[in-house]
Structure 1
Amino acid sequence: MKDSAQDRTVTVVIYAFLLLAALVVAYPLLFVLSASVSEPQMVNSGQVVLLPAGFNLEGYREILDYAPIWRGYANTIVYTVVGTLINLAVTLSAAYALSRRETEGRNVIAFLFALTMFFSGGLIPTYLLVTELGLRNSMWALILPGAASMYNIIICRTYFASSIPYELYESAKTDGASDFRMFVGIALPLSAPIVAVMALFYGVGHWNQFFSALIYLNDDAKYPLQLVLRTLLLQQQSSGSLNDSVEALTDFTRRSRLADMMKYGLVIVAAAPLLIVYPFLQRFFVKGMLVGAIKS
């Protein structure tokens, strides 16, 4: 059957809308990438729209020559990997238990969990608790307080309950499988999409960790990447005084120019690993979110 004129019009409108949405999402990233290799004066004057102007890699050289950057990368990778593994262990096991009909009091437990989505102790009590537990100035202060998210537990519970036939559990139980065996041997292998989604959610959160690190960490050697980048940018933007010598003002002008170049490069340096990983998880991300959020 040939499409009618109305169908073709609707198709054109849909594709035009999708193209516009893609441009809205992609343009900021392309602009930041172009600005990171352009002269700051040209960026500030609006000459950089899409393509670089006055190609210059000085900002990247300054960033990559800064030794704490690599230490921050290593710290962030450790925090992200360890934190994500702990998040997945807590979230998936809790979601599995709440999805099983045999779990006594699961509705009450789910209700108590859900309360934490609306009420919390606040920043100061949390800080005091972390300090009393001896976690301050360690990576555990960035990982354990947020080890589980009730929102993610609900999504995983919905996925387990709606995507895995209950008869499969009954058959495995008849064959003598324990709850742990059913969780590891049945639930997890059949839940690759939702596991990938949760890993991406938690991984991005740990990679962008900033505020908690700013509060709980005192040792520069333990700073994650985001905090190192902030420190570097603040150092480059330190202000000068009108009473300074000509040499000092010249140096301040140079550092201000360099800071303008670096701020776009810092965005690329911090976001590049996530941009590289996401395409490999995209198909799991879409499927997991649809099944985990829509089915009931």
Structure 2
Amino acid sequence: MRATVKIKKGGTGDQNRATYQIFKYLFLPIKNNLSCNDRVSWIGGDLNGYGVIERKASLMATAMNSGHEHLRGRLYRHVLVSCEPCGDKESRLDAERRLRESAPLLAALLGARRWIAVIHRDTPCPHLHLIIANYDEEKGHRLDPKRDFLKELQEMRWTPFLDKGKGFGTGQKGPRGQAIERLRLLRREECPRRRADALETLQEFLAKVKASGRNTDAIVGVLTTSELPSGWDGTKLLTKSGKPRATPSLVVDGIEIRLKFYLNWSRGRGRS
């Protein structure tokens, strides 16, 4: 299973407002035993000391939308983890299991103590909604990770990440320290190998471009007229108007490779 991660943030007001809104719009419907909705298969989390495990709830879409309307700014963070389409019941159940495992891990990576997660099945593939209170009550400040860290989370394949165990060699005993160590392990072992494989496959395309001037138009022509190898997810070569992009890129095995880093592209023309 390959998963993609999108992270949004919002919310204004005092430090407890985000947690209160999450509690109000997602926890109370479960507590009051409202009618179940088959499109919501699991809800888990930890809010104000209450554990929320293996529950179903109705009005999930209404709860999520209402929460977003009331939370504006940066006091909550919404993480969406989407899986590849699941063809049969067995693969769907396996995807949901991995999504359940990723929820507390993502919350720990983002430093959240109060969070709630929902597995939603309103599309052909299950996906996870994770909402965290973006505030650290102990330290008295917001949990705003660096942009580079969030970008790494969004570009990551979560299947090998979840299979790494509980962290090795970390000096931090808490869940956040273990999660960060697992992130380092994946970054060191998995990502460089996949990037090297992708670049090796890219060499034959660059060889074809060499004879045609090595400009942006040439490489766009080669890549759009050639059949993409196995494992290539797509290309980002043209703008919406159909013109060549100034910085064309490829998506290989979930990793976006910007060609300017390898051919020193300037706008409209590149050189080695």
> Shorter-chain TM-score category?
under 0.3
Q: Higher Cα Rg: structure 1 or 2? A: 1
Hey, which of these two has a bigger chunk of strand by percent?
Answer: 2
So what's the TM-score if we normalise by structure 1? Answer: 0.23
So what's the TM-score if we normalise by structure 2? Answer: 0.24
Identify the structure with bigger relative contact order (alpha carbons < 8 Å, sequence gap 6+): 1
Hey, which of these two has a bigger chunk of helix by percent?
Answer: 1
